[in-house]
A and B are shown apart, each in its own frame.
Chain A
Amino acid sequence: MLLLIFQAGSQTYGLDTRQVIEVAPYPLCTPLPHAPAYVAGLATWRGRTIPVIDLCALIAGTPARPLLSTRLLVVKYALPEGRSHPLGLVAEKAVETIVLEETRLEPQKVRIPDAPYLDGTAEQARRLVQRLALDELLPASVRALLFPESEAV
């Protein structure tokens, strides 16, 4: 299993590359008024308008800094009714991938109600990497807000 590594705050997180469509430079985002703080806005990706979530804001509470290593991760977001939609995620230090055996990933022992998206932890090169479960990333209300009538990929 290949994990795309990024940082939010001082911690390192990983995302299964099978859900990643593309890693792109940090785009210009049009903000959505009255949206939650972690919704960075709307961005254009390959001629399409996609919603963008700031993972640093979502996980660590601080918006992502505009660095060269700060990048847009375009993922295939699966909706409950079986459809899926491209979703932009902004993360710092998204410059590396690691190969991880499924077995080395320990299931999350402590389930935080406000962070249901963390589903496992693994040690890699003397650092802890927590895997992100994409399905649990957005609450239903935000999901309904961002994808009122989504189209298939």
Chain B
Amino acid sequence: MEQINRWLARLTIAHKLILSGIVFALPIAVLLYYVTTEYNRRINTSQREVEGTAVLDVCRGLRRDLWEIESRSSLATAAAASSPDDLAETRQRIADAVATLQRGEDAMTKSLIDRLSSLWRQLEASGSAITPAERATLDHQMVETTSELILVVLDDFSLNLDPELLTTELMYVTGPHLLQSQAALAEAGSVALNAKAQGRRLDARDLSQMQAQCGALVSADFPRMRYSLETALREDKRLHGTDSSFQKSVPPLFERYVELATQLASAVSSSSEQAGVAPGPERFVQMALAAEEAGVTLGQTSTQELRTLLLKRLAAERRARAEALLMSLLCVGLAAAVMAVVTRNITRPLARVVNLTTDIAAGKVKVAFDRVQSGEFREFISDDGPSGRVRTRDEICELIRAVSTMTESLHGLLFKVMQACNQVAGSATQAAAAVREVEASVSEQAASTNEVSATSKEIYATVQELARTMDSVMKMASDAAHTASGGVDNLNGIRSAIDGLLSSSAAMTRTFESIDEKAGNIDQVITTITKVANRTNLLSLNAAIEAEKAGEKAGGFSVVALEMRRLADRTAVAALDIERQIREMQRAVREGVSRVESYAQQTQASSAAVSELSSGLGQVIEGTTKLGPQFEVVNSSMQMQSQGAGQIADAMVNLREAANQTKASMAEFRKVSEDLHNAVRELQAEVGRFSTAS
């Protein structure tokens, strides 16, 4: 079973279809075989019947001839006047018949025929050497053998097993019944013949013998023959219509045979009733011969008819066998043709689908998609294809539709998968990068946490130190408060001294103003002197010029002019000197005034500052005394801060551990994302095998 399945799996669909066709053809062949065998059997039967009929015919002729010879020989014995010339024709017929029988090849009849032949040869070879009694015995043996042969032939050639009622009944008519009736006639005839041969009249014993023979004939044989013949005639009418040669020829012969035999029987019975009257045998011999002749004719004719019927049946059977064979072969051929068409109808689209799916399997999805798009399968898919054929609804078309849809879907899907792969690959890369960044950040965070931890420890230490410092500051502040209250008294003294300074500087300013005014007066005088000196210089210059123009005549005038000019120059120089000193003094005075004024301003500012300082010191004292409790508050909060810093340090340690864990997780996540990346790359390669690019 396993092997059969494996063998079936190797076959293509076309082979499988052919195989199923063969499987279906096998019972047909078996059936055909049996049908043909049956036909052959029937044909053989008919053939043997035909042969048997022929043998029967020969046998019947042989027996008649033998009987004739027997009767003649007995007559010749009685008359002692043999006339071999009369019997030569009959002897020749007997020899021909024996030769004919010997040509037959049937095994069953062989021994009988051989025996017949040896008897005949013995009879012929003996000639006149044997006594008539011995010859009669030999003749009688031949007749017996022939009768036995006829019975054997009837059995052996299946004549008794004839399938048709018509021929069966006819067989009975021609066969056993006629044989018996002829035998009976022959017996009756032979009684009369013996009497004739002995040259005496028929006595009562002869008559009673003849009457027994004829009575059996009329009372038993003829009714049976009639019944069979009527049945055969009815069948023949039914089968072959009303005007067959059988119906025309056989019944009159039968009637005549019956009539002649009945005449003999009635003659015998009437003679036997007339006791004392010994009838001559001549008349009975004649009647018996006539009746026997009629029987022979009936037998020959009916055998002829039987042969004709058998041949007709044989031909019909052969024709029927040929028809059956032809029809069967035609049907098988038609079935094969239909099967070839169906197979081709199935395998051709299937091969194209297989081709398409092979393309897909080989990864050429784009090629397959283009084939589907180019309408290669439109005739299977669309309702009315290019050839206008009706839409087919079988499974292969469904398959093609499904495969086309699948190809399109697969193409779309692959396209999307490729896109998705690219996106996922990009995302994975981004994720990996992000993870690396996060990892780096976590490392930084760990480092920062360490720093913060260290810093918080420092803060803790610093805060402790600060708290100590605050204690000393508090002490110093209370000292400062004491010192400041002493400073306020000193400041009041300073302020009164500054006020005295202010009043004296105002007096100084006034003095400077009067000096400035006087210096201005001096300046006016000096200006006047300078103007005079200038005029004098100008005058002396002009005088000198005029004196030069006057030349020698001017004489001492030019000297006077020179002196005048020198005087003016000195005056001018002295005036200029005084003027310079005055101006310097004025500048100094103004400078002193401005300095005194600024000094006064500064003094006033100092006074104000001292006042402010005094009030500020008061506030300082007040503040310092208030500072104590505030410092305590600060101190306690510093302690708390110190504790907080310690807690921060602890928290930082925890945070560092958490950061390390996060780092480990990140490394793991990076590994996972790299795995994802690799997987996506493999997926891309796998999908890439289904190339969507042509």
Give bound CA distance, A71 to B541, whole Å: 11
Judged by a CB distance under 8 angstroms, whether A152 is at the interface is: no
Q: Would you call the interface of chain B mostly helix, strand, loop, or mixed? A: helix
Judged by a CB distance under 8 angstroms, whether B499 is at the interface is: no
Given A23-B538, A95-B537, check contact A68 B530 (CB 8 Å). Answer: yes
Q: Which residues of B contact A68 (CB under 8 A)?
A: 530-531, 534
Q: Which of B530, B531, B544, B548 contacts A18 (CB 8 A)?
A: B548
Q: Which residues of B contact A2 (CB under 8 A)?
A: 544-545, 548
Which bucket holds chain B's interface residue count? 10 to 19
Q: Is the CB of A97 within 8 A of B538?
A: no
Give bound CA distance, A18 to B541, whole Å: 13
Q: Is the CB of A95 within 8 A of B544?
A: no
Given A68-B530, A68-B534, check contact A97 B541 (CB 8 Å). Answer: yes
Give bound CA distance, A10 to B507, whole Å: 48
Judged by a CB distance under 8 angstroms, whether B542 is at the interface is: yes
Given A2-B544, A97-B541, check contact A18 B534 (CB 8 Å). Answer: no
Given A68-B530, A95-B537, A95-B569, check contact A18 B542 (CB 8 Å). Answer: no
Judged by a CB distance under 8 angstroms, whether B549 is at the interface is: yes
Q: Which of A20, A25, A69, A71 contacts B545 (CB 8 A)?
A: A20
Q: Is the CB of B538 within 8 A of A17?
A: no
Give bound CA distance, A68 to B528, whole Å: 12
Q: Would you call the interface of chain A mostly helix, strand, loop, or mixed? A: strand
Q: Is the CB of B544 within 8 A of A71?
A: no
Judged by a CB distance under 8 angstroms, whether A4 is at the interface is: yes
Give bound CA distance, A96 to B541, whole Å: 7
Judged by a CB distance under 8 angstroms, whether A136 is at the interface is: no
Q: Which residues of B contact A69 (CB under 8 A)?
A: 534
Give bound CA distance, A95 to B570, whole Å: 12
Give bound CA distance, A97 to B543, whole Å: 11
Write the A87-118 contact mask toward B (1 if CB under 8 angstroms, else 0). 00000001111000000000000000000000
Q: Which residues of B contact A96 (CB under 8 A)?
A: 541, 565
CB closest residue in chain B, given A25? B538
Instruction: Kindly provide the distance from the CB of B205 to the nearest chain A CB, expressed in whole angstroms.
Output: 219
Q: Is the CB of B534 within 8 A of A23?
A: no
Write the B539-570 contact mask toward A (1 if CB under 8 angstroms, else 0). 00110110011000000000000000100010
Could you say which of A4, A20, A94, A95 has the most chain B C-beta atoms within 10 Å of its C-beta?
Answer: A95
Instruction: Kindly provide the distance from the CB of A117 to the nearest chain B CB, expressed in whole angstroms.
Output: 20
Given A68-B530, A95-B569, check contact A4 B545 (CB 8 Å). Answer: yes
Q: Which of A17, A94, A95, A97 contacts B549 (CB 8 A)?
A: A17
Closest 3 CB pairs between A and B? A2-B548, A17-B545, A23-B541
List chain B positions with a Cβ less than 8 A from chain A: 530-531, 534, 537-538, 541-542, 544-545, 548-549, 565, 569
List chain A positions with a Cβ less than 8 A from chain B: 2, 4, 17-18, 20, 22-25, 68-69, 71, 94-97
Known: A69-B534, A95-B537. 15 other contacts (CB 8 A): A2-B544, A2-B548, A4-B541, A4-B545, A22-B545, A23-B541, A23-B542, A23-B545, A25-B534, A68-B531, A94-B541, A95-B541, A97-B541, A97-B544, A97-B565
